[in-house]
């Protein structure tokens, strides 16, 4: 009986110790998850160059701005990610609050939802990426890209 009590106490002490250190290193884990997201997206889409990433407040979803005006989205499922390449204009984005975006995909190949970000600036930036408003090739060419005479 004494051995059973000792084993249970050691097990509970281990759980408490684990939970305490898990809360303390949460900012570091967010950085590791961002690096893992870059590696996983690069493995899924090797021809796409990543310019910037923004993760949601809970860290379960990562949005990526790519080099050619496209965007990427990755959802965490345990220790695995599902990666999606989003073409400009192939998504519906709406505001669901100051730091929240409601994202719907018409082709339903990717489950949309409501995503909450750390601040309003990040939510606005991701909405620009998803809507295709931020297109560096168009911005760099001026009127020629829009079909206007120069």
Q: DSSP labels for 61-112?
A: EEEEEETTS-EEEEEEETTEEEEEEE-TT-SEEEESSTTEEEEE-TT-SS--
Q: How many helices (H) and strands (E) does the chain have?
A: 4, 7
Amino acid 25: pLDDT: 45
Which tens digit of pLDDT belongs to each residue from 104-133? 877 766 677 889 999 999 998 988 888 875
Those residues of the chain that have pLDDT short of 50 are 24-32, 136-143, 145-150
Q: DSSP labels for 118-131?
A: SSHHHHHHHHHHHH
34: which 2 tokens?
């961002």
The answer to whether domain 30-134 has CATH 2.30.29 is yes
Mean confidence (pLDDT) of the chain: 77
Contact 90, 73 (CB under 8 A): no
Neighbours of 139 (CB within 10 A): 10
Angle (CA) 69-106-53 rounded to 5° is 35
pTM of the model: 0.66
Amino acid 90: pLDDT: 75
Q: Is the dihedral of CA 125, 127, 129, 134 positive or negative?
A: negative
């Amino acid at each position: 009986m004494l051995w059973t009590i000792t084993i249970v106490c050691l097990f509970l002490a281990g759980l408490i110790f684990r939970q305490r250190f898990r809360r303390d290193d949460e900012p570091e884990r967010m950085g590791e998850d961002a690096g893992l997201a870059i590696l996983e997206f690069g493995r899924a889409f090797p021809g796409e160059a990543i310019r910037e990433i923004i993760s949601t407040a809970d860290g379960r979803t990562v949005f990526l701005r790519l080099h050619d005006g496209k965007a990427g989205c990755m959802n965490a499922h345990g220790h695995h990610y599902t990666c999606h390449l989003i073409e400009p204009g192939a998504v519906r984005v709406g505001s669901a609050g100051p730091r929240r975006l409601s994202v719907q995909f018409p082709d339903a190949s990717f489950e949309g939802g409501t995503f909450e970000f750390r601040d309003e600036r990040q939510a606005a930036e991701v909405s620009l990426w998803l809507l295709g408003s931020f297109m560096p090739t168009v911005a760099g060419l001026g009127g020629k890209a829009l079909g206007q005479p120069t």
